[in-house]
A = this chain, B = another copy of it.
């Protein structure tokens, strides 16, 4: 049977699955699960087109990896067929460890567990099933493969993951200012001493890439309305756990129930073999189905929050440059009390948070530019104006969100 396949993709036109291994990985239930996990979680409350999945993103990143490796080959770098396939496999699987509504859910259910670590557990499990066909891919993923640039293309400040998600998120949200010239960037890639570098004439393209990333952060990933919806879902999950802990009975899909009653650590994946299969059964539908079920629950906090989220009656939210104190929170608390929200219920309807972003982190593995004279220079030093320098500034914003029109009065 011919396992080569071509998949339509509005972003790149067509994505080719170019080997049997890749085909088998796409076909694997762990990977098919990603069809049911949206890349941007709740972002469609702001951008109704932002419904693309981690499945599609992973395929896109695999496509870009193929393009990038071909570009490097055309510049004369030797890349073995096995390495080519392994790099594509690694980027294809790099998001396996994400649960639904990743950042929200993990903070409640598996606090402190990095999704990269779960990915590694899952990759190893597939590798076992496939008798070691993922050995090199796993080395590339965890950074132990000798030729360092493969890892950098999988995970760094200029990796295929970021390239695809910026391009894809910009495309599906319709925030066209966040669009990047991935094609051109890729053609500017080179290798120097086994490190991924960018040719000097790609300098403006990287600047553009970093600016696009900053824009996407504030316009999309940290959009006020999205932060508000995320805060609400977080509170819903906290309340659900609180109720189950207190012995209340809660509707939940079978897969989700387990995670509602327990908190798990990374070590649990080893000690409880069936945890892996439970995790792999989770997707967005469990969360939504539960939220929908809970809107009918007798607990007014839980049902109110669920109804509001479902009907997109979101908390009001406001940003602050400094941490907001009682002069802000006091009046809001008073207002909630007047609406019938009790003292112990207030934390569910008045949330304080903070969020930070810097478009380029200089202290991390830097983006290296190969100047025409052969020097390797950090991108922040290569630009002729201090614009990249400006992008390294960490911007911190505080926010308060609250249920303005909530009423808990019988």
Chain A positions near chain B (C-beta within 8 angstroms): 4, 6-11, 13-14, 27, 29, 32, 35-36, 44, 46-49, 51-53, 55-56, 59, 74, 171-177, 179-181, 183-184, 187, 204-205, 207-208, 211-212, 214-215, 218-219, 251, 253-255, 281, 283-286, 288-289, 292-293, 296, 310-312, 384-387, 389-391, 393, 395
Q: How far is the CB of A351 from chain B (nearest CB, A)?
A: 21
Interface contact B173-A47, CB-CB below 8 Å? no
Q: Tell me the number of copies of this protein.
A: 4
Residues in B neighbouring A32, C-beta threshold 8 A: 310-312
6 A-B contacts, Cβ less than 8 Å apart?
Answer: A9-B174, A10-B174, A13-B183, A32-B311, A289-B289, A386-B390
Interface contact A4-B74, CB-CB below 8 Å? yes
Residues in B neighbouring A172, C-beta threshold 8 A: 10
Interface contact A215-B208, CB-CB below 8 Å? yes
Which B residue sits closest to A56, measured CB to CB? B48
Closest 10 CB pairs of A and B: A289-B289, A8-B174, A285-B288, A387-B390, A51-B51, A10-B174, A177-B181, A177-B208, A29-B311, A386-B390
A74–B16 Cα distance when bound, in Å, is 11
Which B residue sits closest to A203, measured CB to CB? B218
A283–B285 Cα distance when bound, in Å, is 10
A395–B204 Cα distance when bound, in Å, is 14
Task: Given A49-B8, A253-B292, A254-B296, verify A176-B179 contact (CB < 8 Å).
Answer: yes
Residues in B neighbouring A36, C-beta threshold 8 A: 288
Q: How far is the CB of A220 from chain B (nearest CB, A)?
A: 10
Interface contact A27-B296, CB-CB below 8 Å? no
Interface majority SS (helix, strand, loop, mixed), chain A: helix
Task: Given A53-B48, A390-B385, verify A8-B173 contact (CB < 8 Å).
Answer: yes
Q: How far is the CB of A71 from chain B (nearest CB, A)?
A: 10
Residues in B neighbouring A11, C-beta threshold 8 A: 49
A291–B56 Cα distance when bound, in Å, is 22
Which B residue sits closest to A393, measured CB to CB? B385
Which B residue sits closest to A170, measured CB to CB? B10
Q: B179, B211, B253, B311: which contacts A211 (Cβ < 8 A)?
A: B211
Q: How far is the CB of A94 from chain B (nearest CB, A)?
A: 17
Interface contact A183-B14, CB-CB below 8 Å? yes
Interface contact A180-B181, CB-CB below 8 Å? no
A391–B388 Cα distance when bound, in Å, is 11
Residues in B neighbouring A179, C-beta threshold 8 A: 176, 179
Interface contact A51-B48, CB-CB below 8 Å? no
Task: Given A48-B59, A187-B14, A219-B204, verify A177-B180 contact (CB < 8 Å).
Answer: yes
Max chain B Cβ within 10 angstroms of own Cβ: one of A32, A172, A175, A289: A289
Residues in B neighbouring A74, C-beta threshold 8 A: 4
Q: How far is the CB of A77 from chain B (nearest CB, A)?
A: 14
Q: How far is the CB of A135 from chain B (nearest CB, A)?
A: 25
Interface contact A174-B292, CB-CB below 8 Å? no
Max chain B Cβ within 10 angstroms of own Cβ: one of A56, A390, A393: A390
